[in-house]
Amino acid sequence: MIVTENLTKIYTDGAPVRALDGVTLEIGAGEFVAITGPSGSGKSTLLNLIGTLDRPTSGRVVVDGVDVGTLRGNALADFRREHIGFVFQMFHLVPTLTALENVMLPLIPYRRGLKFRLEERAQELLEAVGLGDRLHHLPGQLSGGEQQRVAIARALINTPKVILADEPTGNLDSRAGAEIVALLRQLNRERGVTVLVATHNEAVAQAADRTIRLRDGRVV
Amino acid sequence: MLPFGYRSLIQRGIRSLLMLFGVLATSGAFGLLLSAAETVHVTVDEELAHYWRTTYDILVRPPGSRSDTEKKYDLVQANHLSGIAGGITFDQYEAIRSIPGVEVAAPIAMLSWLGLVVITSGREGQLPHLTQPGFYRVDTTLNVNDGLRQHKITFHEYHYLPLDSFPLSPAEAIELSARRLYVIGADHDGFAVYFKYRLPLLLAAIDPDQEDALVGLSRSLIYGSYFSSRTAARIFSGHLEKGENIHSLYIPVLVNIHSYTQMGVEVSVYRLPLRPDNATFQSILEEGGALYLDTVSPSEVVGRFNANLSGEEIFHEVGRGQILILQPWTESYPGGTIVPAADMALSVLPRYEVMEASWAAQSLALKVQPQGWVSAPEGAELSPPEIRFRNLVTRKLAGVQEGEWVQIIGEVVGSVDIGALPGVEGPVYVPLETYYPPLVTLQYDEESRPVDPAIVIHPTLNPEGYIQHPPLLLTTLEAAKLFNPIDPISAIRIRVGGIDRYSPEAQARIEAIAGEIVARTGLEVDVVVGSSPQQVLVYIPGLGYVEEQWIQKGVNLKITREVKRANVVLFGVMLVSCGLYILNTTLVSAMGRRREVALQKALGWRSLTVFYTLMSEAAIVGLAAGVIGLSLAIGIAAITGWQLPLANAVLILPLGLGLCLIGAVMPAIWAAHTPPVVILQRNGVSSGALTVSLPCLGIHVLRGLWRRRTQVSLTLLTMAASAGLLTLFGTATLGMRGYLSGTLLGEYLLLRIEGYHYGMVMVVFIVAALAMTDVMILETLERRREIGVLKALGWRTGAVARLFLLEGAMLGLLGGLAGTALGLAVYLGLYRSVGIGLLWAVLAGLGVPTLVGVLAAAYPARVAAAVAPAEAVRGE
């Protein structure tokens, strides 16, 4: 499902930092993989490159058979919207939108071509993540765990093949964190979605099918 | 799409509000400015069209009569006729009249100064009847008030009422009376003292029909009738007793009884301490007669009497059918005796000398050259002594030989009061010296001290004085032929027919006719239609600095052009400032949403989607603001009574929308191309910015500004643009004001539009201030985290507030500097003139942004100071 070949990323603002250094890996469809490693080991960078948020300095990323490096502009945005769901450590919900609207957000501009009813779908997803009674709450009215569930529901809105979660539990207490991991695991199992989680939480890593360890931008 | 834009707009709270407010202020301001500009435009147009036409369109004067000063500065001298003693021939006059389109061609021929002897006995019982024998001195004093001083001339005459029999033959008595000594016969019952004086009066000839067509002279008739064909001029020649030839000119005369000055006459009668017998009388004659008596001090005042001399009183007994016996005037001042003469005299004012001409400031200072002192005739005293400014030019009457005498018999047809003539005041009057002396006001005395209030200087009776007294006697052009059969005409005032209001074609038509006159006659021609009086400072030695209203030609067109140009500049400034404001607001708002946009991108939104979203937001804001702004403008215009043409006002809608969309394009493109990875960046605090232990807050501020240069440059741009526009606006307004001041028409217009200009400057000022405030507030909102960090590091609230105030001041000053320089450059490029007003504009351009910077920072500073340290560490 996800293949990276010799993926290298060098940040050049200020002193050059080699964040990723020739990472090659392959993740199969339906896998639940944890990426671990200390701070600055390149976890987030790897996720950003796979998620097409950023471009590698060199190397290739293939997601679902598509070399994302060949995508530009609209094609890239469409690919991102249709194939990838993001879950961030900081949740990144729009504070002025309700839970339901936040979930709908990725597709609001594109609802015309949808084969399903966006609002119903969003509601289903929120129910699926256990927030059926929180549809019209603003992010500020939700707990951290609940906010992250909204974010996960948002990631699922377009039935992506891949969910990329960058420290999804980093801002949560251990119990809420465990619930989020369980939710991701459940979604992985029930919907067959490939999940890639960057974390330094051992509990998360243990829940994964496989763990990839990074150190100084390399796979260990 | 739209509903989402709308919702996101509603939900983004203060930022949307600021943007809406900004656009609202802009469109409202735009509406107001539009209204003000339109009002100014309409006012100026109407007034200029209304005040374009002058009493006459073209002034024609003899060759060489236009001075270099007049030519150089496009002026017509205020007292332009008083220096001209004829020079236009009858043939030239006829040639002009025959030009098609010339509706009225009214000639004026200044013919001569004439002496009128006025003898009145005053009111019943006012003057004494002397019966007691004795030597009497009768002093007759004419006094004229020129507004500043009393000018007096006193004549001494002597009367001998003998105890004994009449000592002389009648012929001897007549001869003696010519030398101011009168002997009263014993058969007389004493003698009655009377007011007897000789006044110099200017005689001018007009064409009765043309003059009537030009100014409606016949309508100012008080009594009698206007000139008619029955009143023909003729000449009789005969002989006096002694055999000299005398020519008597009979001319029809219309007397002007208007009083131009305060005049009075005073008679003082003294008894001289001399024994009234014939022996004493004989010895007096041997000693020199009146000349001897001048040296004798009177012993007793017998009486003193005075009377006002208004025009009406001078011509009191003058009515239709009366005649006035007039003598040519050769003396320089009213004399007491009648001296037959043959020379006709006209006074000519020599050319002015330019003292100072600074046309940029619309000021011209001239000096009139004194020609010496006025000499008093024998037996008369002048007090105070008077400076002579004019030269009496004398010429022989046509056909009169050396030694022949002339008398002029004025057959009075009627009298007019010029005060009853309509329509000669106002901002565009042209000189009608036939009826009005030039307006001369003393502004500074000889030592350059201001005279406050300024004193209007009136003409005196002195033909050699600075201001010429208007002619009180008018005759016909036909009569003028008796004086000078060839070229007596001093000027021709021409009115072009078939024109009722201003149009470029009308102007062109008048100019074409003026050209035709030059081509046919070679005379000096001035197009005075569209002119206006222009203040010129004249230094008159012995008096001080007076202001005169010279005629500035072509002012109307120049003002129209200037006001149009200024309006274009102002309109451009308005558009640019409104556009900039919106651009800036949308840009700042887009910057504030970088992370939001990044999130949308991360969630898979296309760039175009992001772009459309932002644009539709701008459209909503623009429309809403346009509608509210329009209503606001209409409301305010209704309250203030300003003009707001609906067609133009509705422009606010597409304009608000258009400006918003244009303003939003760049920021939207920029935002749309935000890389999604921005979402993961920690923004706000750049690493080095927090060196708190700096010695000086100012340096910290500068360093901070430098590190945030991308955002800061935006703020700075707004400040600079605002300051620049304010400067440009100020200078353009001042430039127009400067241009308008100086001429009466301009000042009149200025008075009419001044309020709007202040209004416009206020509006632009407020928009500029709002733009700055907006940017400062948005800037602060973006920096909450940084502020949180500062506070977490232990900064006191006051220090944070000071930081922001200082930043505001610095941004304001920097922006002001850049903007003022820019505004000045544009202004100088447009106008190429420098005035004192510029200084004010520069000071405003520098001071206002600094002040506004501080004021605009005050609110953000409060907000900033209130930020909790926890903000620094909080997530989203």
pLDDT digits (tens, 9 = 90+) for B297-320: 888 888 888 888 877 777 765 554
d(CA B761, CA B515): 44
Size of interface A-B (CB pairs under 8 A): 82
At residue B183, the pLDDT reads: 86
| Crossing angle for the helix pair B594-602 and B652-672, to the nearest 10 degrees | 60
Domains recognised in chain A with CATH numbers: 2-219 (3.40.50.300)
Give the containing element (helix H, strand E) for A87: strand A84-87
Give the containing element (helix H, strand E) for B28: helix B14-50
Q: Kindly report the backbone phi and psi dihedral angles of residue B875, in degrees, each rounded to the nearest multiple of 5, phi listed first.
A: -80, -125
Show contacts of B44-48: CB within 8 Å, 24+ apart.
B44/B559, B44/B560, B44/B563, B44/B749, B44/B752, B44/B753, B45/B560, B47/B748, B47/B749, B47/B752, B48/B502, B48/B556, B48/B559, B48/B560, B48/B745, B48/B749
Residue B534 placed within a domain: no
Residue B100 placed within a domain: yes
Residue of chain A with shortest Cα separation from B593: A94
Name chain A contacts of B675, Cβ cutoff 8 Å: 53-54
When pLDDT is cut at 50, 70 and 90, the band that residue B514 belongs to is: very high
Give the containing element (helix H, strand E) for A21: strand A17-27
Selection from A218, A207, A213, A215 nearest residue A32 by Cα: A207
Name chain B contacts of A52, Cβ cutoff 8 Å: 676
User: Which of B606, B615, B873 to mutate to test binding with chain A, by most A CBs within 10 Å of its CB?
Assistant: B606
Give yes or no: residues B290 and B316 share one domain: no
- pLDDT tens, B92-119? 999 999 999 999 999 999 888 888 877 7
Of B8, B601, B679, the CB nearest to A77: B601
Chain A residues with CB within 8 Å of chain B CB: 44, 48, 51-54, 73-74, 77-82, 84, 86, 88, 90-97, 101, 105-106, 108-110, 139, 154, 158, 166, 171
Domain enclosing residue B427, as ranges: 58-128+193-259+310-529
- The two structure tokens encoding residue B491: 């000027």
Which residues, other chains included, contact A63 with Cβ-Cβ below 8 Å and sequence gap of 6+?
A: A1, A2, A3, A50, A52, A79, A83, A84, A161, A162
Give yes or no: residues B469 and B494 share one domain: yes
Residue of chain B with shortest Cα separation from A94: B596
At residue B115, the pLDDT reads: 83
Of A44, A77, A96, the CB nearest to B607: A77
- pLDDT tens, B44-87? 777 777 778 888 889 999 998 888 888 888 888 877 666 677 88
| B772 CA: distance to closest CA in chain A (Å) | 27
- The two structure tokens encoding residue B184: 């009263």
Give yes or no: residues B11 and B25 share one domain: yes
As a whole number, mean pLDDT of residues B215-236 equals: 84
Show contacts of A176-185: CB within 8 Å, 24+ apart.
A176/A143, A176/A144, A176/A145, A176/A148, A177/A145, A177/A201, A177/A203, A177/A204, A178/A203, A179/A145, A180/A145, A180/A148, A180/A149, A180/A152, A181/A207, A182/A207, A183/A129, A183/A130, A183/A149, A183/A152, A184/A32, A184/A87, A184/A152, A185/A32
Give yes or no: residues B648 and B723 share one domain: yes
Give yes or no: residues B667 and B576 share one domain: yes
> Do the beta carbons of residue B787 and residue B57 sit within 8 Å?
no
Q: pLDDT: is B71 or B579 the higher one?
A: B71
Residue of chain B with shortest Cα separation from A170: B875
Residue B544 placed within a domain: no
Give whole-number Cα distances, B137 to B161, B269, B293, B379, B392, in Å: 11, 6, 8, 12, 32
d(CA B789, CA B792): 5
Q: What percentage of chain B carries pLDDT values higher than 70? A: 76
Selection from B833, B818, B854 nearest residue B727 by Cα: B818
d(CA B428, CA B749): 11
Beta carbons within 10 angstroms of residue B669's beta carbon: 15
As a whole number, mean pLDDT of residues B511-525 equals: 92
- pLDDT tens, A34-81? 999 888 888 888 888 898 888 889 999 999 888 988 887 788 888 888
Q: List the alpha helices (DSSP H) in B452-503.
A: 477-483
- pLDDT of B441 > 60? The answer is yes
As a whole number, mean pLDDT of residues A175-200 equals: 89
When pLDDT is cut at 50, 70 and 90, the band that residue B557 belongs to is: confident
ipTM of the complex: 0.78
At residue B229, the pLDDT reads: 75
Of B607, B675, B679, the CB nearest to A92: B679
d(CA B103, CA B105): 7
Among A34-38, A195-199, B341-345, B660-664, where is mean pLDDT lowest? Answer: B341-345
Residue B535 placed within a domain: no
Contact B600 A54 (CB under 8 A): no
Which residue(s) pair with B75 in the sheet? Answer: B552
Radius of gyration, CA atoms only, chain B = 41
At residue B695, the pLDDT reads: 43
**Domain final residue, candidates B309, B336, B371:** B309
At residue B657, the pLDDT reads: 79
Contact B13 A90 (CB under 8 A): no
Chain B residues with CB within 8 Å of chain A CB: 1, 4, 7-8, 11-13, 596, 599-609, 612-613, 675-677, 679-680, 875-876
Give yes or no: residues B623 and B721 share one domain: yes
Give yes or no: residues B623 and B579 share one domain: yes
User: Which of A55, A78, A86 to mutate to test binding with chain B, by most B CBs within 10 Å of its CB?
Assistant: A86
- pLDDT tens, B445-457? 888 888 888 899 9
When pLDDT is cut at 50, 70 and 90, the band that residue B489 belongs to is: very high
Of A73, A81, A97, the CB nearest to B604: A81
- pLDDT tens, B32-50? 777 777 777 777 777 777 7
d(CA B324, CA B329): 15
The terminus-to-terminus CA distance of chain A in angstroms comes to 21
Looking at residue B384, its amino acid is P
d(CA B334, CA B155): 9
Residue B541 placed within a domain: no
Give yes or no: residues B397 and B409 share one domain: yes
A21: left (phi over 0), alpha (psi -120 to 50) or beta: beta
Contact A106 B604 (CB under 8 A): yes
Contact A92 B599 (CB under 8 A): yes
Give yes or no: residues B595 and B457 share one domain: no
| A156 CA: distance to closest CA in chain B (Å) | 11
Give yes or no: residues B223 and B206 share one domain: yes
Q: List the alpha helices (DSSP H) in chain A.
A: 43-50, 73-83, 99-104, 118-128, 144-156, 174-191, 202-207
Show contacts of A21-26: CB within 8 Å, 24+ apart.
A21/A216, A21/A217, A21/A218, A22/A59, A22/A218, A23/A59, A23/A214, A23/A217, A23/A218, A23/A219, A24/A59, A24/A219, A25/A212, A25/A219, A26/A2
d(CA B736, CA B57): 26
DSSP for B107-158, written as a single string: EEEEEEEEEEEEEE--STTTS-EE-S-EEEEEEEEEEEE-SS-EEEEEEEEE
Give yes or no: residues B656 and B740 share one domain: yes
Q: pTM for the whole thing?
A: 0.68
| Crossing angle for the helix pair B797-831 and B709-740, to the nearest 10 degrees | 40
At residue B46, the pLDDT reads: 79
Cis peptide before B100 (omega within 30 of 0): no
Residue B542 placed within a domain: no
| B689 CA: distance to closest CA in chain A (Å) | 16
- pLDDT tens, B275-288? 888 888 889 989 88
Residue B618 placed within a domain: yes
Name chain A contacts of B875, Cβ cutoff 8 Å: 90-91, 171
Mean of the per-residue pLDDT values for chain B? 77
Q: Collapse the DSSP code of B540 into the 3-class scheme (helix H, G, I; strand E, B; otherwise coil) and give the result.
A: strand
Residue of chain A with shortest Cα separation from B603: A106
Residues in chain B: 876
Contact B679 A108 (CB under 8 A): no
Give yes or no: residues B570 and B602 share one domain: yes
Which residue(s) pair with B196 in the sheet? Answer: B119
Per the structure, how many domains does chain B have? 3
Contact A53 B680 (CB under 8 A): yes
> Do the beta carbons of residue B779 and residue B853 sit within 8 Å?
no
User: Which of A53, A68, A87 to mutate to test binding with chain B, by most B CBs within 10 Å of its CB?
Assistant: A53
At residue B106, the pLDDT reads: 93
Kindly give the pairing relationship between strand B405-416 and strand B391-396: unpaired
- pLDDT tens, B183-197? 887 666 777 787 778
Residue B584 placed within a domain: yes
